[in-house]
Structure 1
Amino acid sequence: MRWTRLGNPRSPSLLQVPADCQVRSCPLVVVSHPRAQDAARLRDSAQVGKISQALLAADFAVLLSGDGGVNTWGSPAALREVAQVHREATSRFRWNSRTYALGLSMGGLLSLRSALPDSPYTVRGVALIDAWVSLRGAWGSALSRQREIGKAYGLTVPPTPTLDPLPLAQRLAPVAPLPLFLAYSPTDTVVSSRKNAELLIPKAEQGVSEIVRLDGPHLGGNRFSPQMIARLVGFYQGLEQRAIARQHKEFPPGLPAPAVQRAQTETSKS
């Protein structure tokens, strides 16, 4: 299987689809990259490659997102660009109408933002590994990050809470808690887990979320061990199983759910 380039040539994304997903409907996982990286860097990473291959083997299509650029920090412009790529990607295979997100470091901001109600595409669950989720926290953490965020958002002053996915997710959680996979290390000196991942733990949906506390440096090797990857893939599989069970309850066999019908129809027209 090969990666297919999609989207803006200045910040291309890469899609790979399991062969089975041309004949049966499959979900999509959108992977958002760390600071100063891009989709090609994720493709060539031995560590991220293990995640991609495990997801593909489990019949998840994988979109390595260009995120609108290397240092976009989950900006509205970046999310709009990813939404366009998402539409293109889901027309390339038999998509089952369900999308999940995976955010690595800086990519956590875009991944979390994509799961909030005003996102231009729907995300059913989010996995975050050593991730930034506080935009204002990132702004105040270093002048270099402040300059990058200012450029990405067009800001000269700190971002308001309406631009920050963390407080938005915190306000949403009492009504609609998020299915979350949170992997973090208290000894991470790049992204403070105390000011990021740990603030999301109370907002995670009970029964389906996974909280994994690790040791060691930022994006260290233990984040990509076989055991961790199995837990990550299992998180997405659990959400798929729940969605399928709910779908069968609402739409008995022989009467496909409208969303699935629509996704399959759109695919056949592409």
Structure 2
Amino acid sequence: MPGHTADDRVPLAGRNALVTGAGQGIGAAVASALARAGARVTATDRTAEGIEALAARHRPAPAGPAGDASEAAGAGSLEARVMDVTDTAAVTAAVEATERLHGPLDILVNVAGVLRPGPAAQLADEDWAATFAVNTTGVFHTCRAVAPGMARRGRGSIVTVGSNAAGVPRTGMAAYAASKAAAAMYTKCLGLELGRSGVRCNVVAPGSTDTAMQRALWTDEQAPRRVVDGDPATYRTGIPLGRIADPEDIAEAVAFLVSDRARHITLQELYVDGGATLR
């Protein structure tokens, strides 16, 4: 089919990708998935430790017997670059450096996010501001740095990893939910403006996923069971599929949306939550 990569085993071969929040959790899983699909991935985070460990896992192993190769063998590549999405100058510099080194970016995935829980009417100014600085303004910074070049070239794909909390109220998560809702709508408005240029913009909205952020919310050993079964005390439904997502579940959805297999999909918000929001 025209526009598709000839080898479906490496659907992103030759593509350049930048992933934010790649130091752990969903961001690390997304960066790995894109590299396995053949992309040259620049994995970014505000600190170096997580992304450098991720890059080390993707370095080709020395030649040896079959089976000795690293995760990256036969696929793309992954390198680490420290970048704070709240710093517009740092984002611009990182994007320019990445494109000088590897060429124009074809893919941007916004994963960087923070969660500062608390009752809606009792949130501190600093918690509200810090949440929006990363979850919303960070998306604006990266998209503004990358999207114009994509539009000029007539191609590109942007995916923002949001949250199902952006579409369903959550107790104790007002700042997080509001920031993710804002980021999702910004991404879709951007996609509307860039549609005629051939640039696609979509949102992936995970539900409960087994990450450090999710585990920080658990207060006892029964917490994971309450997530799956639902919790009437917090007006929360359960997960119909009966399991908490792995980061790789979210990464697979992102990898699909940035590929040519999704070439006619834009302005969409794909919920990957095991049916938790009953959508």
TM over 0.5: no
Q: TM-score when scaled to structure 1? A: 0.42
Q: Who wins on radius of gyration, i.e. which is larger?
A: 2
Q: TM-score when scaled to structure 2? A: 0.41
